[in-house]
Amino acid sequence: MRPVRRLRLLLRLLAIQRTLLRHGLDEIVWRTHLFRPVGWLQKLLPGSQVKRLPIGVRLRHSLEELGPIFVKFGQAVSVRRDLLSPELARELAMLQDRVPPFPPEDAIAIIERAFGRDVGSVFAEFEHEPLAAASIAQVHGARLADGSSVVVKVLRPGVRALIERDIEVLYQLAQLAETYWPDARRLRPVEVVEEFQKTLLHELDLMREAANAAQLKRNFAGSDMLYVPQVYWDYCRSNVMTMERISGIPIGDIDALKASGANIRVLAENGVEIFFTQVFRHNFFHADMHPGNLFIDVTDLSWPRYIAIDFGIVGTLGESDQHYLAENFLAFFRRDYRRVAQLHVDSGWVPEDTRVDELESAVRAVCEPIFDKPLKDISFGLVLLRLFETAREFDMEVQPQLVLLQKTLLSIEGLGRQLYPELDLWKTAKPVLEEWMRERRDPRAQLRRLAERWPEIVDDVLLLPELVHRTIRQHAAATGPQPTARVEHVRITRRGPTDRLLVGAVLLVAGVLWTGLAAQPVWIGWVGAVAGLVVMVAAAR
């Protein structure tokens, strides 16, 4: 590490420690390696008056002062009421939408620079007092010229520089870990920081967030479970976003929800179904579903509907990760530990030379005690974490693409149990997972997917004859010259196995295209595909 960067890291660490001390969290500071050599000084310092405040208040104030990255951490932790004391959880929950706002004059100046004109000519009305303030941006009410009631989200001034500074600190810490910590290779801290950086920087582009909102709205068009506000594209810029103004009960206000008479059980179950639908059906999920971003429409008390806001963080998974994740959940609840172990090997989450029987035994030892509880008391998020923790003993590497999923699942689960403690997540999630797996295994669906990808593979298919010809010539050159008459005889009287493979591949692709494009009669496509498979199998023998 270069001296300047090392100095910058040290100064930031000292600033963090100073902030913790100022807010009366010296018990944390003096336990760190940075001050351990002079820990005896703690006894000589006077006690802080701020310690009279509850620890939750002190911690919240520290995170707010330390900046967006630390606020995000507090938001993520706040939903885990099963891990925190009620007082601490309540204080950290205030980070979700009660971060101190920045001056409205700054917000107006940002809007006017973004649109190149006076705020009064952009909006018919603009409310100076913010409706809510978060770590990245704050929201103001406004009205458009056509009378539409909207909210205007404005990035905090200087927020990018703050995030880039702390990201650099995280990179330095991750690199130090990789250098001096033997376990770091498996945990891949630098890749985890890269994923975190990508997520945070995406949040700083409000045009990207608007696009995420539009996609999610299309995915749930006509849904009676989730509503996504409309984006007003003419009033969006990279640091300003304008959306439809919605009204509803904040999901964190449990007392108000119960007082409204809304069906809390349906609400909790629908939340789980929404999450699994996003992950497996749409492969596009809202990954920041803390209570500050969710409201409830109680127009229909028997079927309350979620309203989501803040689409800066979304997640997707690769097809293989989707498949192995769904299979893992289903195998776990069937207690098929052999299948769980094999899936970890097949997915590449653990090294391919891992002994499946040993991993199976380790998974069984972890999972069997969980089944002493009723299904309604089993935590999906903790099951996933426990499975990964067990696999780490077999050199499983951290999967950065699953970090957002784990965080979101734990958040959804925490919210669901907070709403309805008797929530049975498995009962709600199982039908979604099983139906998704059935659809994936349906031959017709597989053929349709192959047909949809035809434009991607057509160039490769067209190259096959040239590759086959080249392979035959190389084989002939390697085996030496043959009598011309014999070669010609072979060409005329008998096709070689490579030729038959080519013919089979052509028949298979043609059959798939015929079926996938719903051409008539359908049986021609099936016959072509089956004939192609038969020819290819025969050639392989």
Catalytic residues: 288
Asked whether 153 and 206 are in contact (CB, 8 A), the reply is yes
Kindly give the pairing relationship between strand 314-315 and strand 285-286: antiparallel
Residue position matching structure tokens 């079927």: 303
**Spatial separation of the C-alpha atoms in residues 285 and 290, rounded to whole Å:** 13
Backbone angles phi, psi at 158, to 5 degrees: 75, 10
**Spatial separation of the C-alpha atoms in residues 48 and 21, rounded to whole Å:** 8
Query: Measuring CA to CA, which residue among 447, 446, 462 is closest to residue 513?
Result: 447
**Spatial separation of the C-alpha atoms in residues 483 and 488, rounded to whole Å:** 9
Alpha-carbon torsion 244, 248, 254, 255, what sign? Answer: positive
Asked whether 419 and 394 are in contact (CB, 8 A), the reply is no
Other residues' Cβ atoms within 10 Å of the Cβ of residue 168:
16
**Spatial separation of the C-alpha atoms in residues 311 and 231, rounded to whole Å:** 11
**Spatial separation of the C-alpha atoms in residues 332 and 388, rounded to whole Å:** 13
**Spatial separation of the C-alpha atoms in residues 18 and 5, rounded to whole Å:** 20
Q: How far is CA 389 from CA 347, 365, 373, 396, 413, in A?
A: 16, 12, 20, 9, 19
Estimate the crossing angle of helix 337-346 against helix 319-333, to 10 degrees.
170
Quote the DSSP letter at residue 47.
P
Q: How far is CA 200 from CA 135, 151, 443, 473, in A?
A: 11, 22, 40, 54
Residue position matching structure tokens 């035959």: 472
What HEC string does 414-482 produce?
HHHHHHCCCCCHHHHHHHHHHHHHHHHHCHHHHHHHHHHCHHHHHHHHHHHHHHHHHHHHHHHHHHCCC
**Spatial separation of the C-alpha atoms in residues 508 and 531, rounded to whole Å:** 7
